[in-house]
Chains A and B, each alone.
Chain A
């Protein structure tokens, strides 16, 4: 198999470098119109300038706060709802239509409504993030607790374990990989929520940077916003994978 040369990063690195070079050439020679496409070098320059004059810091700070608040609230709420659904059949039956319905709905479409209700400050974005992150976390938590191996539960029962002991010693640890997977899914969804909600109306944030750059046909700054978001998403997901390997190593074989 020629595409797997040991564990080499070479093909990947070459592909990225090649892609960036092609992009640079296309934007400088083929498109050659700063209104439609920015070259990678121009984007790096824009990021540098925006960082120096403090704009980037302000946008990143606002978006981060919106994401962090929404994400933490949604995670806690989602885990709690998942626990509730796993432990009470009635609660699950009552929640199921809402959870399934809202998970499948592109709730991002409600962002304009939230902005109408809560204003263009950070709380309308926080609410969007909550709506996007809550459901995968709740669904995964419930699924994780529900799919706990009957054999393991029975093993613990054979030692005379109480329901609480079964929960803490078996159900919770075996649900952990599912909960983490839900939280990981929430990262991408939460980021989308922040940016799209900001596009609909905001004073600051990366979405705001992107929309105002688009309005001004400032392609380098538009791409600067996109690239920072991409890097944030990749970094957070990678960090999360690391935490997963540390916390639930038994799922990685």
Chain B
């Protein structure tokens, strides 16, 4: 299989703070990769650099062998906060990507409508964000990123602001949608069980400086349903990853609360 995304020697400094040190990651086409780690491990910075929203201090990021720079239509970003435009309808929001690219023909419109249906928002095209629940807004957020038909989907803790039940539903929904197209996904989360449930591989980051500690292959069968979360295999994965970051999380918690 061809390498979809290849990150080599990626480092990032914010003045005194070394946010990321020497990250090497290779992602295969169609892989679902999660990044977990304690707060301050640079996982979101890593995602933002891949997205082109943040410059790297050193190192390279290749997508299909091309060096990545400024943001573009080849990467779809799903934000932690839905970032919907309140003055636009669901369809208007989902169409923003094609619009920026200058292609808003009937073909793109139909494609976006199909995507809205796929994320479970059929019939809500003309609703405004304020009329939607948090879960529905995140569905628009996802459809908006998919509407540009990106080569890779970058997701920054997209379910973090949802309540526990909605989050679980959205996880299965995301897998259902992902099974349809099998896009390459880079998914940042602080929830270990979410990462294990969704991913083919979980990248465990450590903090100070942010670095890749371990890459854990998740060989649980697909398609996956929520029952999987109660199997011993699943729990074993969560345990293992938790043990990897436990000490780090403890120091992070102490640092944040002092």
A residues in contact (CB < 8 Å) with B: 151-152, 154-161, 165, 169-170, 173-174, 248-250, 253
Contacts of A161 in B (CB 8 A): 100
Chain B interface residue bracket vs A:
20 to 34
Whole-angstrom CA separation of A250 from B130 in the bound complex: 7
Contacts of A174 in B (CB 8 A): 87
Instruction: Report yes or no: A159 in contact with B87, Cβ–Cβ below 8 A.
Output: no
Majority SS at the chain A contact face: helix
Q: Is the CB of B87 within 8 A of A156?
A: no
Q: Is B79 an interface residue (CB 8 A)?
A: yes
Among B75, B97, B101, the one with the most A-chain Cβ atoms within 10 Å of its Cβ is: B97
**Chain B nearest CB, measured from A209 CB (Å):** 43
Residue B226 lies at the interface, judged by CB distance under 8 Å to chain A: no
Please tell me if the beta carbons of B96 and A159 are within 8 angstroms of each other in the complex.
yes
Whether B83 lies near A160 (C-beta < 8 A) is no
Given A160-B100, A169-B96, residue A155 in contact with residue B79 (CB < 8 A): yes
A160 touches B70 (CB 8 A): yes
Chain B: CB-nearest residue to A251: B86
Given contacts A158-B51, A174-B87, 4 further A-B contacts (CB under 8 A): A151-B83, A159-B101, A169-B96, A253-B130
Which of B53, B99, B130 interacts with A157 by CB under 8 Å?
B53
Partner of A170, one of B71, B85, B129: B85
Given contacts A155-B79, A250-B130, A253-B130, contact A160 B71 (CB under 8 A): yes
CB <8 Å contact, A159 and B85: no
CB distance from B129 to the nearest CB of A (A): 8
Count of chain A to chain B residue pairs whose CB atoms are closer than 8 Å in the complex: 54
The CA of A205 and the CA of B52, in the complex, are separated in Å by 61
B142 CB–A CB distance under 8 Å: no
B81 at the interface (CB under 8 A from A): yes
Beta-carbon contact of A250 and B87 below 8 Å = yes
Task: Identify which of B73, B86, B100, B148 contacts A156 (C-beta below 8 A).
Answer: B100
Chain B contacts with A in 82-132, Cβ cutoff 8 A:
83, 85-87, 96-97, 99-101, 128-130
Chosen A-B contacts, 6 in total, with CB atoms closer than 8 Å, are A155-B77, A158-B77, A169-B85, A174-B87, A248-B87, A250-B130
Q: What B residues does A249 contact at CB under 8 A? A: 128
B81 touches A151 (CB 8 A): yes
Q: Closest residue of chain B to A154, judged by CB?
A: B53
Which of A155, A169, A248, A250 is close to B83, meaning CB atoms less than 8 Å apart?
A155
B72 within 8 A of A: yes
Shortest Cβ gap from A170 to chain B (Å): 7
Give the nearest-CB partner of A149 in chain B. Answer: B83
A residues less than 8 Å from B79 (CB atoms): 151, 154-155, 158
- Whether B71 and A158, one on each chain, are in contact in the complex, defined by CB atoms closer than 8 angstroms, is yes
A249 vs B75: C-alpha distance when bound (angstroms): 32
Cβ–Cβ < 8 Å partners of A156 in chain B: 96, 100
A157 in contact with B71 given A165-B100, A250-B130 (CB within 8 Å): yes
With a 10 A CB-CB cut-off, give which of A154, A156, A160, A165 has the most chain B CB atoms.
A160
Which residues from B are CB-within-8-Å of A248? 87
Residues of chain B within 8 A (CB-CB) of A253 are 130
With A250-B130, A253-B130 already in contact, the answer to whether A160 and B101 are too (CB < 8 A) is yes
How many angstroms from the CA of A156 to the CA of B83 in the assembled complex? 9
- Indicate the member of B53, B75, B100 with the most A CB atoms within 10 Å: B100
Nearest Cβ distance between residue A163 and chain B, in whole angstroms? 12
Q: How far is the CA of A151 from the CA of B161 in the complex (A)?
A: 15
